[in-house]
Amino acid sequence: MNKYFRFTLIVCVMHLSSCVDYAEKPDPCSKATGTVAVNNNKKCFVDTNVNFQFENTPNAIGNLTLAHSQDSFDENLVVFFKIPQAGIELNTPYAITEGDYHSPERMTVISGTVTLTVYNQDEISGTFQAVAESQNSTTASLTEGKFKYKL
């Protein structure tokens, strides 16, 4: 009877342990307003800002800023992109004219584009990709960038 009891106990424990619902780890990007893959490593940003200057002029530019928080300077991306004098057209890639990526060293954005996919009174959303380079020629490929800025 002792062997039967042990066998039954082991079977019950194995069955119960297979029924346990392990909680999944929360997604670190669940509150992100911007994400990007930097050399294939996903980064999340919770402070996103998009603004425009000199609209409807030959000097019209847009500015996209992504940061971990308003007070965080440990990792952030700031880029400027040229927009046409006639105005913004959705789903059109706009060339990045200048920018910086800090993580942890300062890198200059040397090329890239920003594409606006939503632009209305409530939000500005879009995608971006860029290449940044440091003074010692280290490069970072920023791909699959997405952002959402609530107005």
**How is the beta sheet containing 76-82 ordered, strand by strand?**
41-45, 34-38, 139-150, 123-133, 106-119, 93-102, 76-82, 61-67, 47-53
Confidence of residue 114 (pLDDT cuts 50, 70, 90): very high
> 19 is written with which tokens?
């029924």
CA quadruple 69, 73, 75, 78: dihedral sign = positive
Question: In the chain, where are the structural domains located?
Answer: 31-150
pTM above 0.85, yes or no: no
The H or E element spanning position 150 is: strand 139-150
Q: How confident is the model at residue 75 (pLDDT cuts 50, 70, 90)?
A: confident
Residues 6+ apart with CB under 8 A from 87: 55, 56
Residues 26-39 pLDDT 10s:
676 788 899 999 99
The tokens of 141 are what?
Answer: 């490929």
Query: Cβ of 128: how many Cβ atoms within 10 Å?
Result: 27
- Distance in angstroms (rounded) separating the CA atoms of residues 55 and 72: 29
Helix (H/G/I), strand (E/B), else coil: 79:
strand
